[in-house]
DNA sequence: ATTGGCAGATTGTCAGATAAACTTGATTCA
DNA sequence: TGAATCAAGTTTATCTGACAATCTGCCAAT
């Protein structure tokens, strides 16, 4: 309600007007919009104020701007919308236990899909194993983390459930500090777990793969200072 | 892919940096941010370029700006996200199979956590049943959809895995048109499914609850024109 | 203790400008 | 004749400098 007292900003008004223009004209992704100069003149405002509006819409991909070409109607991509979700309070305030639990839900949840697609497309297994082989030769933490992220992302990608890829990418940002606290002595256990997960999937042992993956992700809980890991009851 | 060729705009870079700052500083809604002038100086850019970033974030409620006071952390307004992108043709093109599959992964994935917490906190069940009772007296589609969203969100909230709430909010934006295509004759089946899920959880029958929930969510596939529902193999 | 005024701080918006990227048309070359 | 190259014009990206509107804190008056 505090919000409704506030005076509307030009940029907000203009953004809404632009959106309405797109709707009214029945425009589709790729269609040209008037130039910044023309729009600013139509609205009777400065070009910079107009840009504040177009940038707002551009943040979600609704409008795209290219020098020399102008403004076009953009396209909505789940990953772009999801990028915004990193500001969601439920993520910003997430405690480590929730982050771990969330990863477990997503990553074990995709395993039936991965296993099915692995049978149809053997290159999935090759790619996972190949990434893991790279992990084995990682010689510094940055590289190890990068490849660990790649392995897990590839696992989710292999499910075909693209929204979950975007979600996992967001989690990666918040989860990074846990990955970076992994001791070198623990790398080989992680790499071994990856291999075991892939083999269990390959053999269609989905429950076993889930259990391995859950244990692998939950291993991060051991390194959380002043935290009581929430024991899972089954 | 067109997007990745394009040079990153200052405003996009800065928006991401601001996000990282908010995360790194552990800031909550209402907390003060550095002023526009200070941020511009820190990033070594002009104040107007900095404003393009803050306006983008402000459009969605993530940052709030008040003359004389400065910038504060806001919270993302998902209803605004819905309003802004809800018109877009790309929402009509969102892949139903992925959306349904993703919802199934997330919502069935939280059930063990919900069941556990239900035993500790009986008000969870009361709240779910109460929302479903409201669903029973919904007399128009808008209300029905709103309450259906609320029921499913409450289910995820009840797990305590807060990041999944954020992700579910994104899915809700893309999934809305499917909910809105539910015929009134089908409402009671949905409401009944909700009740059965809650009771199965209450009785600790997690596998049964998962199956009911999966079936409930996948029921949307039946209404999707020109789509072949991907049969799940178990 | 409360209210009003003022100065300083901060955002909102503008004008004018240059740099970078893109498009189009003309010219040259094989 | 078709393809490649180049120059000019167009458009966005970003900047400097400036003024207007709003807010906050402090001080004086009641």
Positions 67-106 in A, CB within 7 angstroms of strand D: 67-71
Out of B95, B163, B170, the one facing A99 most closely (by C-beta) is B163
CB of B87 within 8 Å of any CB in chain A? yes
Assigned CATH for A82-223: 1.20.120.530
C21 C1' closest Cα residue: A67
Contact B48, B14 (CB under 8 A): no
Name the DSSP letter for residue A1: -
Verify whether the Cβ–Cβ distance A6 to B66 is below 8 Å.
yes
End-to-end CA distance of chain B: 35
Q: Which of residues 102-141 of B touch A (CB under 8 A)?
A: 102, 104-106, 108-110, 112-113, 116
Q: How far is the CA of A66 from the C1' of D6 (A)?
A: 22
Structural domain boundaries of chain A?
A: 2-76, 82-223
What does the block give as tokens for A141? 């933490």
In whole angstroms, what is the distance from residue A30 CA to residue B32 CA? Answer: 39
**Long-range contacts for B8-11 (Cβ within 8 Å, ≥24 apart)?**
B9/B52, B10/B45, B10/B49, B10/B52, B10/B53, B11/A55, B11/A58, B11/B49, B11/B52, B11/B53, B11/B56
Neighbours of B204 (CB within 10 A): 13
What does the block give as tokens for B34? 């550095």
b/e code B139-154 from CB counts within 10 Å (16+ = b): eeeeebbebbbbbbeb
Confidence bin at B222 (pLDDT 50/70/90): confident
In whole angstroms, what is the distance from residue B69 CA to residue A74 CA? Answer: 34
Verify whether the Cβ–Cβ distance B163 to A60 is below 8 Å.
no
Indicate the average pLDDT of chain A: 87
Whether ipTM exceeds 0.95: no
Verify whether the Cβ–Cβ distance B167 to A109 is below 8 Å.
no
* Nearest Cα residue to B103 out of B162, B60, B158, B155: B155
End-to-end CA distance of chain A: 45
Fold match, A2-76 / A82-223: no
Confidence bin at B80 (pLDDT 50/70/90): confident
CATH class held by domain A2-76: mainly alpha
Higher pLDDT, B231 or B139: B139
What is the mean predicted confidence (pLDDT) over B159-172? 92
pLDDT along chain A (234 residues), means of 10: 55 93 90 93 94 93 91 85 81 86 96 95 94 92 92 95 90 82 87 95 95 93 58 40
> Is CATH 1.20.120.530 the classification given to domain B85-223?
yes
Closest CA–CA distance from residue B74 to any residue of chain A (Å): 9
What is the mean predicted confidence (pLDDT) over B9-35? 89
The proportion of chain B whose per-residue pLDDT surpasses 90, expressed as a percent, equals 62
């Amino acid at each position: 309600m505090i919000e409704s007292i506030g005076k509307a900003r030009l940029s907000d008004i203009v953004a809404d007007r632009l959106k309405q223009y797109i709707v009214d004209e029945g425009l589709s992704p790729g269609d040209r919009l008037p130039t910044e100069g023309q729009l600013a003149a139509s609205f009777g405002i400065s070009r910079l104020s107009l840009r504040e509006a177009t940038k707002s819409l551009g943040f979600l991909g609704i409008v795209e701007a290219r020098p020399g070409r102008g403004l076009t109607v953009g396209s909505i991509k789940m990953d772009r919308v999801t990028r915004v979700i990193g500001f969601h309070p439920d993520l910003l305030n997430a405690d480590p236990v929730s982050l771990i639990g969330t990863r477990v839900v997503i990553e074990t949840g995709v395993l039936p899909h991965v296993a099915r697609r692995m049978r149809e497309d053997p290159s999935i297994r090759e790619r996972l194993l190949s990434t893991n082989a790279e992990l084995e030769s990682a010689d510094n933490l940055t590289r190890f983390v990068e490849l660990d992220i790649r392995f897990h992302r590839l696992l989710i990608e292999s499910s075909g459930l693209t929204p979950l890829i975007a979600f996992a990418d967001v989690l990666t940002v918040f989860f990074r500090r846990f990955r970076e606290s992994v001791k070198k002595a623990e790398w080989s256990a992680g790499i071994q777990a990856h291999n075991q997960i892939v083999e269990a999937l390959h053999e269609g042992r989905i429950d076993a793969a889930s259990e391995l993956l859950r244990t692998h992700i939950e291993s991060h809980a051991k390194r959380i200072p002043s935290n009581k890991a929430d024991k899972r009851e089954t």
